[in-house]
Amino acid sequence: MGRTRSCYDNAAAESFFGLLKAEIGATVWESHEAARADVFHFIEVEYNRTRLRKHPEYGYVTPLETRALATQDLTPAA
């Protein structure tokens, strides 16, 4: 979430929540815990580990793979 009166700051959050609503739809859960478990599964399993995105340097990789590759590229300054 971004600054007031700046639609560009909020674009990433709006995009994510739009995708979440499209994937989960109008599901009615029996309990709060079931809803939380479904949202957690979507974020941790589907969104972070299986969704491919094009990274300018690494190509088509998942967000989890991007994070792992970026940490490998860090070299300590000595």
DSSP letter for each residue of 51-70: --EEETTTEEE-HHHHHHHH
Task: Note whether residue 64 is domain-resident.
Answer: yes
Count: domains in the chain: 1
pTM metric for this prediction: 0.59
**Which range of residues forms the domain containing residue 65?**
11-73
Considering only CA atoms, which of 37, 47, 46 is closest in space to residue 16?
Answer: 47
Task: Note whether residue 25 is domain-resident.
Answer: yes
Task: Note whether residue 78 is domain-resident.
Answer: no
For 22-73, how does the pLDDT look when each residue is reduced to its tens digit (9 = 90+)?
A: 888 888 999 999 999 999 988 888 877 777 777 677 788 877 887 888 787 6
Q: Please enumerate in sequence order all residues whose Cβ is within 8 A of that of 29, keeping only pairs 6 or more positions apart, or say none.
A: 35, 38
